Amino acid sequence: MAVRAAPPASPAEPMWPSVCVKALRACILGGVAAGATPQALFAQLGVDPALVLDPHARVPHSTIVRAWEEVPRSLASDAFGLKTAELIIQKPFDVIDYVMRQSRTVGDKIERLMRYQRLMHDAADIRLHEDGEQMALSLRFRCQPAPPRHLVEFIVALWVASSRSALGPAHGPEAVYFTHAAPACDLEHRRYFRAPLHFGAEENKLVFSPQVLALEIPQADPALVEVLDRHAQTLLATLPQSTDLLTDLRNLLRIELQSGEPEVQRVAKKLRLSTRSLQRRLKEEGTSFLMVVDLLRRELALRYLEDPALTLTEIGFLLGFVELSSFHRAFRRWTGTTPGQYRKGGARRQEDASS
């Protein structure tokens, strides 16, 4: 069989930022509230249950993307992010939850959200800016793959829930904007936000009156917030400045996959690490060698299927599968459909695109 070379990588390799484990924990809790069992969700995502109990744990952005894609889809929930935000707002998990609760005003609260945003996500870009005569709190991500709509809605809904928890249930934004398309049914969104909704916008943002920034938070404790600030600043200073290991591993695996199933011992040697050191460092990132391989195969499979010049057999070979049936089983596990159905633009693919 003549096998073509793999399609070239995109000009800029996706970043591999780390994310606070809170995002994964929230997704699991939302799935359990919707009827799934924790055991099933951990197995589905290939995650160690002990990981979500450590408030200082970090996981790769790609793991969070996968979780917030697969769990809402498996539960057929159109408002998963909103319901999850309602569920966890009364359950503080990390220092950011506590320090924001003790801020004196809404403006102070937002300032701390922006100051410590890297504790939540290395590539998050949260900004407060003027929007005509109003103010806007916006959310962007400087990384790929793009976060699923349920994750974006969860974050924005959490902002609203946090404000209502501090100021009362009547508080809310003047308008809400999302870059993604409107869901098939937006009744839950209208109920939750109680404000004009705009989908397909240029940015994700909440718009509100400038006077809101001066509103005082009744339960604020100035003495406690100073202690929490020092702790948050210490944690911020200890964050790794880069995730070069994951980038190097990903780039090497792209080559290794073309020769078959990657072997951790061989890959570790090429990275000038012992097998044990590679596995330990990946564990510290909240992932594993097998998970990185699996996530990379999934990403490459979706990219290769966009190229009509590549046959399914060739794609399976480029992904390191010895047999086409193995590729089909893995792809069904990733997406719930077959490679052929995905390429033909079946119903499942359309659902993924709308998400």
For the segment 60-74, what is each residue's pLDDT rounded down to a tens digit?
888 899 999 999 999
Say what the pLDDT of residue 259 is: 83
User: In the listed set 206, 238, 270, which residue is the last one of a domain according to the structure?
Assistant: 238
pLDDT band (50, 70, 90) for residue 5: very low
Say what the pLDDT of residue 347 is: 39
Task: Please state the domain count of the chain.
Answer: 2
Residue 177 forms part of a structural domain: yes
Same domain assignment for residues 230 and 250: no
CATH of the domain at 296: 1.10.10.60
Question: Which residues is 124 bridged to in the sheet?
Answer: 141
The answer to whether 18 touches 286, Cβ cutoff 8 Å, is: yes
The answer to whether 264 touches 275, Cβ cutoff 8 Å, is: yes
Residue 127 forms part of a structural domain: yes
CATH of the domain at 208: 3.90.1520
The string of pLDDT tens digits covering residues 329-353 is 999 998 888 999 888 874 344 455 4
Residue 6 forms part of a structural domain: no
The answer to whether 47 touches 19, Cβ cutoff 8 Å, is: no
User: In the listed set 222, 238, 254, which residue is the last one of a domain according to the structure?
Assistant: 238
Amino acid in position 218: P
Q: Mean pLDDT over residues 259-273, rounded?
A: 88
Compute how many other C-beta atoms are within 10 angstroms of the C-beta atom of residue 336. 15
Amino acid in position 13: E
Task: Report the candidate in 243, 55, 11 with the shortest Cα–Cα distance to residue 24.
Answer: 55
Residue 242 vs residue 344, higher pLDDT: 344
**pLDDT score of 111 more than 70:** yes
**pLDDT score of 243 more than 70:** no
Say what the pLDDT of residue 90 is: 73
Same domain assignment for residues 50 and 149: yes
3-class secondary-structure state, position 26: helix
Q: Mean pLDDT over residues 89-111, rounded?
A: 86
Same domain assignment for residues 182 and 255: no
The answer to whether 197 touches 186, Cβ cutoff 8 Å, is: yes
Same domain assignment for residues 188 and 311: no
Strands 197-198 and 124-131: unpaired
Say what the pLDDT of residue 241 is: 56
Same domain assignment for residues 190 and 119: yes
pTM, to two decimals: 0.66
Same domain assignment for residues 164 and 269: no
Same domain assignment for residues 32 and 161: yes
pLDDT band (50, 70, 90) for residue 316: very high
Residue 222 forms part of a structural domain: yes
> Residue 44 and residue 233: Cα distance in Å, rounded?
35
Segments forming the whole domain that contains residue 338? 244-354
Same domain assignment for residues 82 and 116: yes
- Give the residue carrying structure tokens 């993924």: 352
Same domain assignment for residues 89 and 145: yes
Could you tell me the CA-to-CA distances from 315 to 154, 251, 342 in Å, in that order?
35, 18, 13
Say what the pLDDT of residue 236 is: 84
b/e burial code for range 42-72 (CB count within 10 A of at least 16 → b)? bebbebeeebbeebebbbbbbbbbbbbbbbb
> Residue 288 and residue 275: Cα distance in Å, rounded?
12
Same domain assignment for residues 175 and 27: yes
Compute how many other C-beta atoms are within 10 angstroms of the C-beta atom of residue 287. 25
**pLDDT score of 211 more than 90:** yes
